[in-house]
Amino acid sequence: GPTIMPNRKGKNAQRKQAAPAPRKTSCASPRARVARMPAPRRTTLIGANQSVQRVNRPTGGRLETGTDLIARFAVPDSTAPGALLLDIAITPNIGPRLKTLASAWQRLRYHRMRFQVNATGSSLVGGSFVAAFIPDPADKPPLNNADSWVMAHTGATSSSWWVSVNVDGPPPPQIMYTNFEQTEPRLSSPGRFVLACINPPSSDTTININWDWRVTFSQPSLEQLGTEEIYTLNVDARLPISDNSASLPFIKYLCKSPEFGALHTTSDAALVADDCLRPTDFTPVLPDGTIVGLPDPLTLNSDTGASGAPENAIVTGMGVVEKEISGKKYKGICFFYSTNGVDWTELVETKPFSIRPTDCPIFPVGSIFEELELSSSLNSQSAATSRRSRRSLTSAPVLQQLPSGRVISLLNSRRY
């Protein structure tokens, strides 16, 4: 019979036969065109503002590291035990390199703060010191018995005058401002670095302080670094102090002679021109009508006499006044106070109290003062008239540290 051949088609062929045919769809003719409206043509009006608004969006931040020399000063063997030798509010402006970098930014975050105390004394020098980082910039150490105050803080380190040490400061968690503000130091300063004498060195020595930092800058900006009027004191000066005697007159003129650095028993008339601090004792010469600021508001205590009730006055600046001695007029230096930051009044016997100073610090030779900018004339009959144009008051400068945070003088050191 007939031979039946087997179906040799594969499974794929069988699936194709079982699959339904594709459905055909009708499409429009390729020649068909859809009518489109032309886009309106942009026209420029003559005289119209054609400027384009551009927004400056610079980079977000920058990490920097470095080391700056922030202090160097001499420590004589006559230093009193417990004396405060160094007190610096930490700001970007105390480091030369960090200050330059910070002028281009508004904010910064501290990642590392290490203070290298380089003691340069011989191994034969006796005595010791203590250094610490204070996390709160508003805490100010005492001038006397400061060693126990410094040692009480966490991380305080003591050492001999010939052994160098490192003091690490804990970085604050918050982001700081680069521009230092004295009224709100916690917003722009992570703390203070202090150093006090435990036992004075057996011979004169020197101390250098390096600051090793690692920071991240953010919020780009540009700050113009101004040039302040700076005056350097060429001699030691202070107010004559009294023994709280009610009959002892108040001498308002700062003196430079050694005999007036102790308890005085003379009157104002006994002063001679050479005893008084003069404008020529500053470099450059302190001009008329100029007020230079004190490191901190200075409280002068007094004794009213019979009642024994204490009084005090707070002074924040000193300036040039005229004094007549033996028919000749001389220019001296007196304290001034201000209640509004604008009008400055000379401190005399009846303004604001009958003051008999009992604790007036000595301003050592080499101290640097910054000029206060005034918006009104000095409120004193004996004040020398300024030849400069009046300017507005901005901030109160300091001896050890300017309002901008820059360190320019450290106790008995020279400007560096």
HSE value, Cβ hemisphere, 13 Å, CA-based, for 371: 23
Grade residue 17 by pLDDT with cuts at 50, 70 and 90: low
- Please check the confidence at residue 276 and state whether its pLDDT lies above 90: no
Grade residue 405 by pLDDT with cuts at 50, 70 and 90: low
Q: What are phi and psi of 180, to 5 degrees?
A: -75, 140
Look up residue 152 and give its two tokens.
Answer: 């009480």
Of 65-69, 169-173, 267-271, 327-331, which range is least confident? Answer: 267-271
Q: What is the pLDDT of residue 93?
A: 83
Q: What is the pLDDT of residue 162?
A: 94
Helix (H, G, I), strand (E, B) or coil at 166: strand
Give the burial string for 4-34 (b: 16+ CB within 10 Å, else e): eeeeeeeeeeeeeeeeeeeeeeeeeeeeeee
Q: Tell me the pLDDT of the chain averaged across its residues.
A: 72
- Please check the confidence at residue 30 and state whether its pLDDT lies above 70: no
The pTM of the full predicted model, rounded to 2 decimals, is 0.51
137 preceded by a cis bond (ω within 30 of 0): no
Q: What is the pLDDT of residue 95?
A: 86
Q: What is the DSSP string of 340-390?
A: SSS-EEE-BTTBSS----S----B-TT-EEEEEP-SS-EE-SSBPPP-SPP
Q: What is the pLDDT of residue 262?
A: 47
Percent of the chain with pLDDT over 90: 21
- Please check the confidence at residue 223 and state whether its pLDDT lies above 80: no
Look up residue 359 and give its two tokens.
Answer: 């604790």
Sign of CA dihedral 363, 356, 290, 257: negative
Grade residue 190 by pLDDT with cuts at 50, 70 and 90: very high
Per the CB < 8 A criterion, the answer to whether 302 and 309 are in contact is no
* Residue that the structure tokens 């309106």 belong to: 40
145-182, pLDDT tens digit by residue?
A: 889 999 999 999 999 999 999 999 999 999 999 887 76
**Domains delineated in the chain:** 61-220 (2.60.120.20), 230-379 (no CATH)
Give the Cβ contact number of residue 150 at 10 Å: 26
Grade residue 203 by pLDDT with cuts at 50, 70 and 90: very high
Task: Please name the helix (run of DSSP H) or strand (run of DSSP E) that holds residue 26, with its range, or none.
Answer: none
Grade residue 35 by pLDDT with cuts at 50, 70 and 90: low
Q: What is the pLDDT of residue 135?
A: 94
103-119, pLDDT tens digit by residue?
A: 888 899 999 999 999 99
Of 266-275, 342-351, 372-381, which range is least confident? Answer: 372-381
Give the Cβ contact number of residue 240 at 10 Å: 26
What average pLDDT does the segment 323-351 reach? Answer: 73
What average pLDDT does the segment 91-111 reach? Answer: 89
- Please check the confidence at residue 69 and state whether its pLDDT lies above 50: yes
